[in-house]
Chains A and B, each alone.
Chain A
């Protein structure tokens, strides 16, 4: 069981991770986009950090809602509405919760993926963040259904997430600015897929700590 305190801790750690990796995300975006994914994400998570500090968090749903609303107003690029949607959908699934278990986490991931697919009018295989979110979630659900320990399930899910990022290098972008590049997007990993790996790693660790 993950408690509210652990969730708040995780969000703060995630903010640090995104801020530390902003140059890496910029570099990926420089190859196939406009080199601002790291700048945008850093701006968003710096704001998340200060907002979390100044907000009295009532429950876990409120924590994720705070992240979503903050990203919505501060990121600026396409990743803003997409990640805002993910965190707001998370929040819907744990409104009023003081704790969350792996079952709730699966529902949160499903809701987030459905929300991002709708928001971005996208699907797996378009060289987007979904190429990481979807295999991570599918692996987690399969491993869980097969009765694997949650530690093992989460670590296999993270392997699937990394593989999803690697897979994004092998396909042509059909969404966003990278889609203008056509075949020239081949060989480059998607920046949104890379930031999703960082987010899912933090969320996986949240359960490992619990």
Chain B
């Protein structure tokens, strides 16, 4: 199954989305929350993201969802540091972290391939709420 890494500046946001995902896709466990700095403060930690990727990577790909600004830089830095390892199908996906994360989890939990999980995240970009 495709793995999911949730990267937020806030540890609570990352954990909160993880909770939502666990509720919506109860049998899906290949997801990890990487929120905050190593000291639990607001920020992002490329080393933690690296560990997160390794933790949920079972060979079918990993999608990384990010919140704002430097979360993208930290996630890309983590990918650069992983260079040399099996990096195929590991990307920072371009979609909102909450809706995209839920879409991704539901899609991944039913065994969708990497491309379909990425598409599910990108679909969330145009999701109309009303």
Range of interface residues on A (Cβ < 8 Å) = 10 to 19
B70's nearest neighbour on chain A, judged by CB, is: A78
Task: Identify which of residues 43-79 in chain B touch chain A, using a CB-to-CB cut-off of 8 Å.
Answer: 43-48, 69-70, 73-74, 76-77
Q: How large is the interface on B (under 10, 10 to 19, 20 to 34, 35 or more residues)?
A: 10 to 19
Q: B5-42 interface mask toward A, CB cutoff 8 Å, 1 = contact, 0 = none?
A: 00000000000000000000000000000001111011
A81 partner, pick from B36, B41, B48, B77, beta carbons under 8 A: B77
Q: Establish whether residues B37 and A76, one from each chain, have CB atoms under 8 Å apart when the complex forms.
A: yes
Could you show 17 A-B contacts with beta carbons less than 8 Å apart? A43-B39, A73-B46, A73-B48, A74-B37, A74-B39, A76-B36, A76-B42, A76-B44, A77-B43, A80-B74, A81-B70, A81-B77, A82-B73, A119-B73, A119-B76, A119-B77, A177-B69
Interface of chain A, helix or strand or loop or mixed? helix
A36 CA / B36 CA spacing, docked (Å): 14
Q: With both chains docked as a complex, state the minimum distance between the C-beta of A34 and any C-beta of chain B, in angstroms.
A: 9
* A74 to B37 CA separation, bound complex (whole angstroms): 7
A40 touches B43 (CB 8 A): yes
Interface residue A132 (Cβ < 8 Å from any Cβ of B): no
Interface assignment of A75: CB less than 8 Å from any CB of chain B: yes
- Complex CA gap A73/B48 in Å reads 8
* Alpha-carbon distance between A120 and B76 when the two chains are bound, in angstroms: 10
Q: Please tell me if the beta carbons of A81 and B69 are within 8 angstroms of each other in the complex.
A: no
- Set of chain A residues within 8 Å of B77, measured between Cβ atoms: 72, 81, 84-85, 119
